[in-house]
Every structure is written in structure tokens, then in C-alpha cells.
Chain A
Amino acid sequence: MTPLTRTELDGLLDGAARAWLDDALAEAASHAAARTTAGAPPSPPSRIPPWEVRFAAAGRCCSPEHADAVRTLLLHEARADLKTLTRLYRQGAAAERRAVLLSLPRLVDSSAALPLVDDALRTNDTRLLTAALGPYAAAHLDSHSWRQAVLKCLFTGVPLDHVHQLAVRARGDAELARMLTDYAAERTAAGRPVPPDVHRALALAEED
């Protein structure tokens, strides 16, 4: 998923939601600025920073269909670091976890956020699986985990179009080809149809 820009979002939101987003982004920017100001007083640990309340409330304030875009914008504006992203993921509802996963390619330039991707890939929640398999996973996930993720998509019915750079990573992957062939055989033995995506991925894996 390519995150929407602020301008694109403005064209989609109504007036009240745009005003809410203005305030939310200002709070996120202010939080980012305060963090970099020497001697800025830390928030009391029991108090949730206002921008994080906005992060949680994005679905009801800007509608669920725009929540991914709003939340990823907020994370970017707050310049959320790995520690913050990890906390927001762990304390987040599924939709908030999705936004953290979608933000990883822009906000984390190392493989240090892989535990969040691994967590999402352990779930059977396809909203999280699809968000986890974007450019960040394509760049950083090890081969074994990546193959397991592809297979999990097939098991849970997630279209492989959601796997970023599928063709690049699958090409010439003999182990993936073996797993897909075994999976197809298992489905056939059970009298179940083999999903078309299996053949598609197999063709990619068998390419030189």
C-alpha cells in the first residue's frame, strides 16, 4: 500500500474530519519537536500523549476506510521511533497495529522492527498479514519466514498480490517451489481445489 499524502486525504475527508486531522497532526508535530528539545519536560508516565489518543481514535473521527492513511500520517509527523512504534503496536487494537506495520518502510531503516512483523505473521488475522507483507518484509524477512508467510497467505486465502516483490523474492527459490508442490499435492489428495495463486507462485519459483 502506498500511503496517501495529506493533500490526497484532504480530498477524501469531510470538513470535520479535516479539522480533526489538522489538530492531530499539529499535536504529533509538537510531540516530535518536544522530544528533540533539550530539557523539555517529560509527560507523566500515566498520561497518554494527546497525539496517541488521536492515533487510537482515527477510525471514528476520520472513518475506518481512511484510518490507515490517517494513522500512518500521524506516525510520520510524530517521527515515531522504534520504541514508540513497538509500544503502539503492542498496546494497539488490530487497526492500530496495521498502521504501525504499514509505516515500517518509511520509519525504520534497519531490520530492528522485524519482531513486529513476526508477531503479525503469527496471527491468523488477514488484516495484519497483508499489512505485514509490504516493502519492509520484502527487504528484511529471512527466507524461511518469508516462505512460511507466502504459504500462510495461501492457507488463509490472502491474495499473493499483497506480498510485496513476490516475483523478485520467489524467483529461483527451489525450497519455495517444493513447499508449493507439496501443498498442491496435499490439497489434491484431500479432494480440494488448488488455489490459482499456488500455480502462479510455483511458476515464479521455478523461473531461473
Chain B
Amino acid sequence: MRIFDPHIHMTSRTTDDYEAMYAAGVRALVEPSFWLGQPRTSPASFFDYFDALLGWEPFRAAQHGIAHHCALALNPKEANDPRCTPVLDALPRYLVKDSVVAVGEIGYDSMTPAEDTALAAQLQLAADHGLPALVHTPHRDKLAGLHRTLDVLRESALPPDRVLLDHLNETTVKPAADSGCWLGFSVYPDTKMDEDRVVAVLKTHGLARTLVNSAADWGRSDPLKTRRVGDAMLAAGFADADVDQVLWRNPVEFYGLSGRLRLDVPPPQTPGDPRGVGGPPLHEGNSILRGGE
């Protein structure tokens, strides 16, 4: 089973996670920029984070045989802090980078006027840069948030077939599907969706334009939930090709809209044990270890 996790925050995860993900079949992922748990207080803090998503994290992922791309944006929560909003002015120079495959994650948190402004501005940036957008739906007041999101999308220059609406559930999937956008389901241990509920939604709504992600981050979450969904699909009678469509071909098609996906990362030297027995893994001809080991 080959897996593309279209939404996971690897900055918050360990090398054990990378190893387990590779062993489970994950070969590619997209890391959208988001809130770090601790609010940022300046644009410079975002820039260091963006640099990590363009430098260190892809390097770390490649060490484990996983292709890493990112989506960059000012997240909706911090769009409310005027100390952070200058990030919007700096985004154009980041959105031209090779491994940026979307603007995201954007959307609503508390549905404030500042979030309206940031969402509209960043949808325009996506259109201007030939990028699709990853738009999450809010955790609180989700259905109303979805409708407000769809209103802003309709007024934007970005067509719905270049938008992935994420964190959907049973109450929001129909209006989201009717909008013509791509549909994302985040599978969590306790909140959001679980694997069996996702399988039920897939049976009802079909597989087209549907993506499943772990959205794993610094909270209670599980980077192997994509694999669990694949297993649950097979157990429910879906074919291998169906699993491949949801867990690989659909995310490749969506992020491929950017024209920037590169999925040819070589495997680690010893799968599941990237340091190998005889030495460290090779990346571009070089092995990688932390200094001091």
C-alpha cells in the first residue's frame, strides 16, 4: 500500500514516526504551515518556520525515504494578531519556492473580520502563483464556517477544483461536495473523524476528489491513521485500486495542480531502520547523522 499523507505537521513529530510511516507505506506527504501551539509574536518567527519547512524538514523526511512538500500561509488563528499579519506581504517570495505545492492551511478559526481578510488575500495569492489552496474548516461552528468559507471562495479568483476543503465530517461533506472542491478528511484518535466513519462516508459519497490525512501534529494524533483507513477500506470490501485512489492518486492529482510535485525520493538504506546496520543512510551521496553521535 503506497500512501501520500496530504496533511501532516512533521515538525512536531519524531524520527520514530518517520520510520513507522515508511514501514506503513507512506512515501510522500505535504506539511501545511500552521499554529505551533504557542502563539508567535512576530513575522520573523514565521520566516524561520517557513525556512524549516523548505530546508530541514524535507531533508529529514528524505533521510527516511519520504518525499516532503509544504503548503505555506498565515494561519487563521494568528491572522487575528496584528503583529503577525505582515507575513502576508512576505508570502510571495516564499510561494515561488520549488517544494511549495499549495497555499495553506488557510480558512477560519473564530470567523473574525481579520480572518476574512487573510482568507481572501491568500486565495488571491494562490491564484496569482498558480497554486491550489488547502482550506481547513473550523473546529468550532463547523457547518456555519463551511458556508462562510464557500461564500468567500465563490468571490475569489480560485476555482473550486483547485481548493481542498479539509477537516470535513458527516455534517459538512454534502455542501462541500456540491461546491466542486476537493474533500479532505482528517482521522484522529478522539476528535475529527475515525477510520470507520471515513469508510462509511466513502461508501456514500464515492472516492472521487476525496483525500484522507492524519493531520498529525503536537496534539493527540497518529501519523499512521492514513494506513488504518486503507486497512479499514480493504476490510469493508474496497479493492486495492480504491485504496490507491484515495491514499495516493487523489492527493498526487490535487497537489500535482501546482506542477511542482517530485516523488522520486530514494528509499532509506535499510527500510524501517534508516541508519542501517552498517552505517547511516545516504542522501544525495551523503550520510546523515546528528553531530555529536
- To the question of whether A and B form a pair in one complex, the answer is yes
Q: Which residue of B lies closest to A193 (CB)?
A: B279
Residues of chain A within 8 A of B260, CB atoms compared:
60
Q: What residues of chain B lie closer than 8 Å to A157, measured between beta carbons?
A: 279-280, 286-289
**B220 located at the interface, meaning its Cβ lies under 8 Å from any Cβ of chain A in the complex:** no
For chain B, residues 79 to 126, give those with C-beta under 8 angstroms from any C-beta of chain A: 89, 92-93, 96-99
In the complex, whether B293 has a CB less than 8 A from a CB of chain A is yes
Q: Interface size bucket, B side? A: 20 to 34
Q: Answer yes or no: B37 CB below 8 A from chain A CBs.
A: no
Shortest C-beta distance, B109 to chain A (Å), equals 27
Question: Would you call B159 an interface residue if the criterion is a C-beta within 8 Å of the partner chain's C-beta atoms?
Answer: no
Contact flag A158-B286 (CB < 8 Å), given A56-B98, A95-B98: yes
Annotate A43-79 by CB proximity to B: 1 below 8 A, 0 otherwise: 0001010000100111110001001000000000000
- With A46-B89, A93-B54, A94-B54 as contacts: A124 and B288 at CB distance below 8 Å: yes
A residues 89-146 touching B (CB-CB < 8 Å): 91, 93-97, 123-127, 129-130
Inside 8 A of A127's CB, which chain B residues have their CB? 59, 283-284, 286
List of B residues within 8 angstroms of A84 by Cβ: none
A residues near B283, Cβ cutoff 8 Å = 126-127
Q: Mark interface residues in A154-174 (1 if CB within 8 Å of B CB, else 0).
A: 011111001000000000000
Q: Please name the residue on chain A nearest to B262 by beta carbon.
A: A64
Residue among A67, A96, A126, A152 with most chain B CB within 10 A: A126
Check A94 against B293 for contact (C-beta < 8 Å): no
| B291 interface hit (Cβ, 8 Å) | yes
| A93 & B99 in contact (Cβ 8 Å cutoff) | yes
Shortest CB distance A185–B (Å) = 16
Chain B binding surface, main DSSP class: loop
Q: Taking A46-B89, A93-B55, A94-B58 as contacts, is the C-beta distance between A126 and B96 under 8 angstroms?
A: no
Complex-state Cα separation, A67 to B279, whole angstroms: 29
Instruction: Report the separation of the CA atoms of residues A58 and B262 in the bound assembly, to the nearest whole angstrom.
Output: 13
A158-B287 contact, Cβ under 8 Å, with A53-B96, A94-B55: yes
Residues on the A chain within 8 Å of B291, using CB? 124, 152, 155-156
- Assess whether B35 is interfacial by the CB under 8 Å rule: no
Q: How far is the CA of A128 from the CA of B279 in the complex (A)?
A: 21
B259 at the binding interface (Cβ < 8 Å): yes
Query: Considering the chains assembled together, what is the distance between the CA atoms of A188 and B55 in angstroms?
Result: 33
Distance in angstroms from A127 CB to nearest chain B CB is: 6
Task: Determine which residue in A48, A56, A157, A159 has the highest number of CB atoms from chain B within 10 A of its CB, and name it.
Answer: A157
Contact B286 A93 (CB under 8 A): no
For B58, the chain A residues whose CB sits under 8 A away are 94
Residues from chain A with a CB closer than 8 A to the CB of B287 are 126, 156-158
In the complex, what distance in Å separates the CA atom of A59 from the CA atom of B285? 18
Q: List 21 A-B contacts (CB under 8 A).
A: A56-B98, A57-B98, A59-B262, A60-B259, A60-B260, A93-B51, A93-B54, A93-B99, A94-B55, A94-B58, A96-B97, A124-B291, A155-B291, A155-B292, A156-B287, A156-B288, A156-B291, A157-B280, A157-B286, A158-B287, A159-B285
The 3 closest A-B pairs by CB, nearest first: A157-B287, A59-B98, A94-B55
Other contacts beyond A124-B291, A126-B286, A156-B289: 4, CB < 8 A: A60-B262, A96-B97, A126-B287, A162-B286
